[in-house]
């Protein structure tokens, strides 16, 4: 069921880690952001849009992880935009002969049979490094960074004052850093600074997973994520309710401990001269 969160903006939330699909009303139809997750949920979303007589005229993937590059034939053949880097990464994935098997290994077992794979990842790079979605109004600004992954971007839906942040600023998931990056902690801090720079222009924040927040919650989530990443940088334990004994998701504390361990391993490897960087930023993790 679609939930209106601002003027011209709706959210459809999946059962899978509270994944949020964003629907933005345009002049001739809607923009879909990160549609997901199961076949049934995507069909329900398509049915709701059809009942409202709203065709899908454009789409956007915030980053190239499997749960943010899904599609369903019922949405039609609208262009599915991504950053140039995000689109290139998906082309590399789809060029592998065993890509379906590779992606399937990372799917949650309880949902694996319900996730559509046929149209996964068919993305189009934004033209010429565009900083806006190329569609009719409203204006949707693209804010590219690489805090959570390469090719990641947030969207500022300007007239509605809505900030769509992909896999950041969640109230249930702590920051997942990209361990494959050369400077993952700096990357993440820079991404948070970018979001902070536009926070005064937003009244609503929509994370990739978790609950929708208002302007005060947007500020609080930026501060909480900053504190978490700085704790990883400084080698201290974060004071973060998302990873503590009362964590909203019982498996997240284990992922947090794994992330900390990976950071320590990278530092130790760098200290022994085995090819890892030795600066304080040689850390990070990915979504999996």
pLDDT tens digits for 162-185?
A: 999 999 999 999 999 998 898 999
Strands (E), the chain: 3-6, 9-13, 20-25, 30-33, 56-60, 80-82, 124-125, 140-145, 152-157, 162-164, 204-206, 213-214
Other C-beta atoms within 10 Å of 267: how many? 17
C-alpha span between 270 and 114 (Å, rounded): 42
Strand partners, 12: 21
The DSSP annotation for 223-240 comes to: HHHHHHHHHHHHT-----
Domain boundaries, the chain: 3-271
pLDDT digits (tens, 9 = 90+) for 268-282: 876 333 233 323 233
pTM beyond 0.85: yes
Q: Are 263 and 232 in contact, with CB atoms under 8 Å apart?
A: yes
Mean pLDDT, residues 181-207 taken together: 96
Strand partners, 11: 3, 22
Distance, in Å, from the CA atom of 80 to the CA atom of 34, rounded to the nearest integer, reads 10
pLDDT given at position 25: 97
Q: How far apart are CA 115 and CA 94, in angstroms?
A: 17
| CATH number attached to the domain at 3-271 | 3.60.15.10
């Amino acid at each position: 069921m679609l939930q209106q969160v601002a003027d011209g903006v709706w959210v459809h939330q999946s059962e899978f880690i509270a994944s949020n699909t964003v629907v933005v009303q345009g002049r001739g139809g809607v923009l879909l952001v990160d549609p997901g997750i199961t076949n049934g949920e995507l069909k329900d979303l398509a049915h709701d849009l059809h009942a409202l007589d709203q065709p899908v005229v454009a789409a956007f993937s915030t980053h190239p992880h499997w749960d943010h590059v899904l599609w369903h034939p019922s949405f039609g053949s609208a262009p599915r935009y991504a950053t140039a880097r995000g689109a290139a990464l998906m082309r590399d994935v789809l060029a592998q002969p065993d890509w379906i098997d590779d992606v399937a290994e990372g799917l949650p077992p309880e949902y694996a049979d319900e996730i559509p794979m046929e149209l996964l990842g068919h993305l189009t790079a934004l033209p010429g490094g565009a900083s806006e979605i190329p569609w009719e109004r409203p204006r949707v600004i693209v804010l590219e960074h690489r805090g959570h992954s390469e090719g990641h971007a947030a969207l500022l839906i300007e007239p509605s004052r809505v900030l769509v942040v992909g896999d950041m600023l969640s109230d249930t998931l702590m920051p997942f850093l990209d361990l494959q990056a050369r400077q993952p902690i700096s990357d993440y801090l820079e991404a948070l600074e970018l979001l902070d720079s536009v926070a005064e222009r937003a009244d609503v924040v929509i994370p990739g997973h978790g609950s929708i927040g208002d302007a005060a919650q947007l500020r609080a989530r930026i501060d909480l994520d900053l504190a978490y990443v700085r704790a990883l940088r400084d080698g201290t334990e974060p004071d973060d309710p998302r990873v503590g004994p009362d964590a909203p998701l019982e498996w997240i504390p284990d992922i947090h401990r794994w992330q900390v361990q990976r950071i320590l391993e990278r530092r130790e490897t760098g200290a022994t001269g085995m090819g890892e960087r030795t600066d304080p930023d040689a850390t990070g993790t990915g979504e999996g």
